[in-house]
């Protein structure tokens, strides 16, 4: 009789430990996913900032080139504010802005990808926690069944 009581206690304890482990795993997985999501969100913001800075730097560099071009034209006796030189400068300014916007769009695209990955991480964390809860419940029911079957 003492052996069967000990067996029941050990089965119950084993079941409780296994269920606690399943809960712990689910909670840890959710916390890890939340951390990953936070890192991805921060990286998304960083990518946006980098793209904005790169676009600004590009505009400044190209603006200096345009200014130099106007100065060279002026030094050569050509009026950079009229005719063909003006049309070329306007076309070039449009291309500069288009390329700067492409730089920003590239950063925005990367940031959006990271934000989507963060959302997926959070969803996976929630799923892992739910799976842990379900596994713990299953272990408890299975253990109770074994204890009562004795």
The residue segments making up the domain with residue 67 are 2-149
**pLDDT bracket for residue 118 (50, 70, 90):** very high
List the one residue out of 123, 116, 122, 113 whose CA is nearest residue 51. 113
Mean pLDDT calculated for residue range 97-117: 96
pTM for the whole structure: 0.75
Q: What tokens does 127 get?
A: 């799923």
Tell me, rounded to whole angstroms, the distance of Cα 11 from its chain centroid.
44
DSSP 139-150: HHHHHHHHHHH-
The fraction of the chain above a pLDDT of 90, given in percent, is 66
CA distance linking residue 141 with residue 133, whole number of Å: 12
76-86 pLDDT tens trace? 888 888 888 88
How many CB atoms sit inside 10 A of residue 27's CB? Answer: 15
- Residue 150 reports pLDDT greater than 70: no
Say how many domains are in the chain.
1
Q: Which residues contact 96 (CB under 8 A, 6 or more apart)?
A: 58, 59, 62, 63, 66
59-99 pLDDT tens trace? 999 999 999 998 988 898 888 888 888 889 899 999 999 99
Q: Write down the mean pLDDT value for the chain.
A: 91
Are residues 19 and 140 in contact, defined by beta-carbon separation less than 8 angstroms? Answer: yes
List the one residue out of 30, 4, 16, 7 whose CA is nearest residue 132. 30
């Amino acid at each position: 009789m003492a052996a069967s009581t000990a067996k029941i206690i050990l089965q119950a304890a084993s079941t409780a430990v296994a269920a606690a482990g399943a809960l712990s795993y689910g909670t840890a997985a959710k916390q890890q996913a939340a951390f990953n999501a936070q890192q991805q969100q921060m990286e998304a913001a960083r990518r946006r900032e980098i793209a904005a800075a790169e676009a600004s730097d590009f505009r400044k560099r190209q603006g200096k080139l345009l200014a130099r071009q106007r100065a060279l034209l002026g030094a050569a006796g050509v009026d950079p504010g009229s005719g063909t030189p003006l049309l070329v400068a306007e076309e070039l300014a449009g291309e500069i802005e288009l390329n700067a916007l492409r730089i920003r769009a590239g950063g925005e695209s990367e940031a959006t990808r990271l934000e989507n990955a963060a959302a997926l991480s959070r969803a996976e964390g929630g799923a892992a926690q739910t799976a842990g809860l379900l596994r713990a419940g299953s272990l408890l029911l299975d253990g109770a069944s074994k204890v009562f079957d004795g």
